[in-house]
Each structure stands twice: as C-alpha cells, then as structure tokens.
Amino acid sequence: MNRTELIVFGSSSDAAATPGCRHTRTVRSKQKILDATLGLIAETGFEGVTIAAAARAAGVTRQTVYSIFTTREDMVSEAMVGLIVDVLGGITEKADQAETPTEFIVETVVAARNLIRREPVLNSLLRSGNANPLFDPDMMDRAQPVVRQFLDGYIERNPGFDSTQFHGIDGAIVRVGLSVILFDDPSIHDDDGLRRYLERWLIPVLPFA
C-alpha cells in the first residue's frame, strides 16, 4: 500500500476525491502534526514525543502520521528544522549588522544562542535525554545545511565577498556553536563574554581571519 492509499484508506468519499483534494488534505494533516510535535516538545521535552502522542494532539490517526513520516525521528527533525527556518530571519537581522565576515560569524552564533534560550521548543535542546535529536547519529548531516543557509545568505548580500572563503567551515561553526550553547559558564554567559571567546578560539582558525 503506498502513501496516498494509506492516507485515504477507509473512506469512500476520500477514495472518490481528486488527487488535488487528497494532496491538500495531506498538506493540512502534515502541518497539524508538525505543530502538534512542537507543542509536545515545549510541554514535555523530546522524551514525550511519540507517534501516538503526536496523532492525538493533531487530531489525526497514527496511520496518517505514518503515511507522512516514516519514523518518529523524521517527524521530530522536520518539525525542528521548520521552526529553525521560521526564526532564521531574527538571527539574520542581528548578524547582518556586522561589517566583516568574521563579525558575521560571531554575531550569528551569539544571536542563535539567545534565540535558543528564549524559544521554549529550542530550549528543549539544552536538556539531556536519549530522545534529544542533538545526540542522533546524523545530527551533523541535519545541522550543517542550516548553517549553510546563513553563509549563503551573507554571500548573496555581499556580492564582493570571495565565497570560496566560506567553503568547508560549516562543520566547525556547528561544533563550536553547540559547545558554547550546551556548556555555559560565567566567562561566556553574557553576549560580550561569548564574543570574546569566539574571537579568541573560533575566528583564528577560519580561512579568512
């Protein structure tokens, strides 16, 4: 049974629906599920997110959830990526005040940490637990494209910048960014302290510093 059959299974009216109608219902169901997933994360942390819980919160069947998302991990990952994409503008607005590429990198990390501290769903990333997606084996594969969006945005807004200088730095930014977010201490707790840390330990290893 394919995905479309799973979605429309059990309803004669659905079986007679046009492909366009079925697609619209699928899109609506998917958004309900993603919104429900984010709500569960904010309320209970990642451990409280299951296919069954997301289905109940979204008002759909588990069968519908499985027809759209192959696994719980895929559902959580897509919900988190969608949220991050939604808040990219806030981070970019802060980072775009920087006058140099190095300042842009620093301000992006600073703005991202502030956002994670404020946003209840993203703040769940700071809690330990086996269900935290930060500990998924493919976490780097999911995180680096998000960082790449910031770097590509800077390149587009600064056509005179040599884009080759941003090649291969995605992983370094992800690793350093996660370390300062997860392992806080008084020396980097405020924004200025974090800026000093990044300027001392991250910027010197970048190819354009």
- Kindly list the structural domains of the chain, giving each domain's residue range(s) and its CATH number in brackets, ordered by start: 3-70 (1.10.10), 73-205 (1.10.357)
Alpha-carbon 40 to chain mean position: 16
- Output the tens digit of pLDDT for each of the chain's 209 residues: 443 333 333 334 444 556 666 667 788 899 999 999 999 998 988 888 999 999 999 999 999 999 999 899 899 989 988 887 777 777 888 888 888 999 999 999 999 999 888 888 888 877 766 677 788 888 899 889 989 988 999 999 999 999 999 999 999 999 999 999 889 999 999 999 999 999 999 999 998 87
Amino acid code (one letter) for 98: A
What's the CA gap between 51 and 208, in Å, rounded?
A: 45
CA atoms within 13 A on the CB side of 98: 21
pTM above 0.85, yes or no: no
128 to each of 36, 68, 100, how far by Cα in Å?
21, 28, 35
